[in-house]
Each structure stands twice: as structure tokens, then as C-alpha cells.
């Protein structure tokens, strides 16, 4: 492997962490852009649906739990083979909240009290109190600060940016409150302090690390990624999809643990690597899904226009696990007819259940 990129300052001092930051930011920016473009294609809808399932399962995995993708897909379709346990129910609530927030505008999601209403719709009083705190913290949001803009002073600006990242994370570390509302208000105050002139993904990585450090909502830690996506969407960085981070954290967790005892800059680099890893998983899944769809689409040749086989293929691309009951509901046909359509796809689909009842297939 090659050496990590470094930045050579005029004084002769090397800032290797800044080189790591630039390399991680470049990789994250590239993968996010590529996946954002791919998701606007016809196959993008199915890819987004699959990544949502993977993100929810990765979230519970990163917190020491285990929920199988197949169980989550069956539970989401109300076709559980057995009674769902607490972990499955919690993971499904994360999946549903992720979908619901995807339909909201960034301004609505980042508005005062919106977060509290999402995680606790019945807590109207607490939502109002939290809204007041967040309004105070968000008063500085309109203040635009200068970012990296002068090429002639690149080294100095990089050094200043690195120092500011460390300072922002130190501020997050200084938050010491057990009140979720106050901690969340502190995160929003910090969000207003991150220079808007920085690259959007760099701002997002700093905010991800700040969320991890402050941990304002321990029971709803997934909201950090949701809010950072809203920040990226508000900045116009994302158009067709949302960044999935938990899957990348799960992938990095095997080899590269988050450096909790190191500088804020290095921890921000880790967050950027998690983004790049998650988006790379999405790119790989798109390639696999595209090839698999080409294989099964050959069975559409010569079919009548009234055939449901095309709908079945679409369902297979959208959901990781498909059952005859799902096809019957989608196409409004009998389960026997649904199983007949599955058999027509031949080796293009693989049975994953291995049982006579509650059979399931994947593309």
C-alpha cells in the first residue's frame, strides 16, 4: 500500500492528518457523487429500497444487536414467520422513520421541535420545550462564515480548518448534560458554527462526529445520520438519494475502530471513511442488481403485455426477500399463480428459506 498523502507547509512541517483528511474527503465525495447519479436511473428506486434495509440492520449491528435482513423484510411486509422480538421491532421502527424522514423537506426536518415530534409524536409538551431550546440555538444559523477560498493561502487555510475542526469537536466533548433536549440544542448550535464555506461532506463528517460525541438521543442515535442528510440536502449536495453511514461503520468496525482517544480531525477522517465505505457498498449492490436484472429480464421476451412477470421482477429489485404472498398482494393474483411466476424466472432467483412453508426467494 502507498503512503498516506501529506501536505508540505512552507515551514517544512508535515501535516499528515490533513493529508488523510483530504484523501478521505476526496474518496467520500467521489463515491457519493457516483451513487447519487446512479440512483436517478430506473433501477435506482430498487437500490434505495435495498439500502434502507441494509442500513437499518447495520444500525442495530453497530450497537451490539443482530437482526437478519430476511426477518426485517418479512416483518416489514407483515409476513413474520415467528413473533418479532424487541430488536426486530426496534430495527423496523428505525426503517420506518428513515423512510418517513426521506419524504420531508430539509427545512421541515431541521426546524425547531421537528426532531422531537418524529421520535415522540405524543410528547407535545416536550416537543414545544425542545423547540424553544432549538430556536435559541438556531438563531445563529443565518450567519454565514467564510470558508476555504484563497488558493494563494491554501496551506494556511488547511491548517486553520484543521484547528477549527479540533475546536468544534472539543466543544462537543465539553457538552455535559443528561437532558436530551439540551444536548440536541447544543448540537444544533454547533451545526450553526461549522463554516458554510467548507465542502458539504466535510461539514457533514464534522457533524456526524459531533453527534457521536454528544450522543444527544441515545435511544434514537440513528437520527444523527438523518439530520446530517438533511443538512447535505439543504446545501444541494444530494439530489436523488441519502447518504448511508451505518453500513460503512459496520464494514470499518472489523479493521479500523473509531479513534475515540485521538484528535477531532482524525475522528472526522474516520467518519468520512465510513461514508465512503457505505457508498461503495451501494455501488457494488447496484452492479450486482443490474446484472441480476439483465439475467431475469430475458424471460420477458415474447411475453404478453398483460403478463405480471415484469411486476414480479420489479418487486425482486426493490425488496431483498420476496415471498409468494408479497407477489400475490402486489399483482392481485393467487399465491399459486405467484409461485408459477417465480418458477418462470428459473435460476435467476434463489430460494433462501429452505423449507416447504413460508418459502422466500431473492434475486
Let me know: does 116 contact 131? Beta carbons within 8 Å: yes
Query: For position 256, what pLDDT does the model report?
Result: 67
- Does 225 lie in the same domain as 353? no
CA 113 centroid distance within chain = 22
- Does 341 lie in the same domain as 205? no
Distance (Å, rounded) from C-alpha 258 to C-alpha 245? 13
Name the grid cell of 216: 444527544
Distance (Å, rounded) from C-alpha 327 to C-alpha 340? 11
Distance (Å, rounded) from C-alpha 109 to C-alpha 230? 7
Query: For position 12, what pLDDT does the model report?
Result: 38
Distance (Å, rounded) from C-alpha 152 to C-alpha 208? 30
**Along the 363 residues of the chain, how does pLDDT read in single tens digits?**
444 334 343 333 444 678 889 999 999 999 999 999 999 998 898 899 999 999 999 999 999 999 999 889 889 988 887 888 999 999 999 999 999 998 888 888 886 577 877 777 555 444 444 444 444 444 443 333 444 444 444 567 778 888 899 999 999 999 888 788 888 889 999 999 999 889 999 999 999 999 999 998 888 889 999 999 999 999 999 988 999 999 999 998 766 667 777 788 999 999 999 999 999 999 999 999 999 999 888 888 878 878 899 899 989 988 888 999 999 999 999 999 999 999 998 888 888 876 666 788 988
Compute the radius of gyration of the chain from its Cα atoms: 23
- Does 257 lie in the same domain as 346? no
Does residue 6 belong to any structural domain of this protein?
no
- Does 309 lie in the same domain as 280? no
Measured between alpha carbons, how far apart are the two ends of the chain, in Å?
A: 35
Query: For position 301, what pLDDT does the model report?
Result: 84
Does residue 5 belong to any structural domain of this protein?
no
Domain boundary among 234, 253, 285: 285
Does residue 297 belong to any structural domain of this protein?
no
Query: For position 139, what pLDDT does the model report?
Result: 42
- Does 259 lie in the same domain as 338? no
Nearest to 57 by CA among 1, 100, 98: 98
CA 229 centroid distance within chain = 8
Does residue 38 belong to any structural domain of this protein?
yes
- Does 95 lie in the same domain as 59? yes
CA 280 centroid distance within chain = 12
- Does 353 lie in the same domain as 205? no
Record the pTM. 0.83
Name the grid cell of 244: 448511508
CA dihedral 195, 33, 254, 54 (to 10 degrees): 110
- What is the number of structural domains in the chain? 2
Q: Which residue has the cell 474516520?
A: 270
- Does 313 lie in the same domain as 214? no
Write the CATH number for 341.
1.10.10.10
The Cα angle at residue 59 between residues 53 and 63, in degrees rounded to 5:
150
- Does 324 lie in the same domain as 278? no
- Does 196 lie in the same domain as 63? yes
Residue 235 makes CB contacts below 8 A (sequence gap 6+) with: 196, 200, 203
- Which range marks the domain in which residue 175 is found? 25-285
Query: For position 138, what pLDDT does the model report?
Result: 44
Name the grid cell of 116: 422531537
Does residue 7 belong to any structural domain of this protein?
no
Phi then psi dihedrals of residue 14, to 5 deg = -95, 135
Counting Cβ atoms within 10 Å, is residue 31 exposed (0-12), middle (13-18) or buried (19+)? buried
Domain boundary among 285, 314, 331: 285
Does residue 291 belong to any structural domain of this protein?
no
Domain boundary among 258, 285, 312: 285
- Does 138 lie in the same domain as 95? yes
- Does 203 lie in the same domain as 338? no
Does residue 20 belong to any structural domain of this protein?
no
Does residue 292 belong to any structural domain of this protein?
no
Nearest to 165 by CA among 202, 118, 139, 128: 202
Amino acid at each position: 500500500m502507498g503512503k498516506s498523502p501529506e501536505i508540505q507547509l512552507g515551514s517544512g512541517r508535515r501535516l499528515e492528518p490533513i493529508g488523510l483528511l483530504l484523501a478521505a474527503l476526496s474518496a467520500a465525495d467521489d463515491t457519493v457523487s457516483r451513487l447519487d447519479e446512479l440512483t436517478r436511473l430506473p433501477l435506482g428506486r430498487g437500490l434505495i429500497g435495498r439500502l434502507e434495509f441494509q442500513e437499518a440492520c447495520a444500525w442495530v449491528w453497530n450497537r451490539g444487536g443482530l437482526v437478519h435482513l430476511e426477518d426485517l423484510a418479512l416483518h416489514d411486509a407483515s409476513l413474520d414467520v415467528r413473533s418479532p422480538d424487541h430488536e426486530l421491532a426496534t430495527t423496523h421502527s428505525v426503517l420506518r422513520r428513515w423512510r418517513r424522514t426521506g419524504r420531508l423537506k430539509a427545512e421541515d426536518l431541521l426546524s425547531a421541535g421537528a426532531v422531537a415530534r418524529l421520535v415522540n409524536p405524543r410528547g407535545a409538551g416536550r416537543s414545544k420545550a425542545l423547540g424553544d431550546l432549538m430556536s435559541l440555538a438556531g438563531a445563529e444559523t443565518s450567519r454565514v462564515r467564510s470558508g476555504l477560498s484563497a488558493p494563494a493561502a491554501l496551506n494556511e487555510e488547511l491548517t486553520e480548518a484543521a484547528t477549527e475542526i479540533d475546536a468544534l469537536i472539543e466543544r462537543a466533548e465539553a457538552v455535559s448534560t443528561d437532558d436530551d433536549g439540551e444536548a440536541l440544542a447544543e448540537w444544533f448550535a454547533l451545526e450553526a458554527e461549522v463554516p458554510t464555506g467548507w465542502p458539504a461532506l466535510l461539514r457533514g463528517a464534522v457533524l456526524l462526529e459531533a453527534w457521536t460525541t454528544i450522543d444527544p438521543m441515545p435511544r434514537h442515535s440513528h437520527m444523527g445520520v438523518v439530520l446530517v442528510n438533511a443538512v447535505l440536502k439543504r446545501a444541494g449536495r444530494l439530489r436523488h438519494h441519502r447518504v448511508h453511514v451505518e453500513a460503512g461503520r459496520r464494514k470499518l468496525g472489523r479493521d479500523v475502530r473509531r479513534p475515540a482517544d485521538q484528535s477531532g480531525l482524525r475522528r472526522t477522517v474516520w467518519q468520512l471513511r465510513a461514508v465512503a465505505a457505505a457508498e461503495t457498498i451501494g455501488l457494488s449492490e447496484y452492479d450486482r442488481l443490474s446484472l441480476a436484472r439483465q439475467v431475469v429480464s430475458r424471460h420477458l421476451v415474447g411475453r404478453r403485455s398483460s403478463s405480471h412477470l415484469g411486476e414480479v421482477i420489479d418487486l425482486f429489485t426493490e425488496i431483498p426477500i420476496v415471498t409468494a404472498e408479497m407477489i400475490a398482494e402486489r399483482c392481485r393474483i393467487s399465491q399459486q399463480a405467484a409461485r408459477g411466476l417465480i418458477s418462470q424466472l428459473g435460476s435467476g432467483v434463489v430460494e433462501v428459506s429452505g423449507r416447504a412453508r413460508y418459502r422466500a426467494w431473492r434475486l
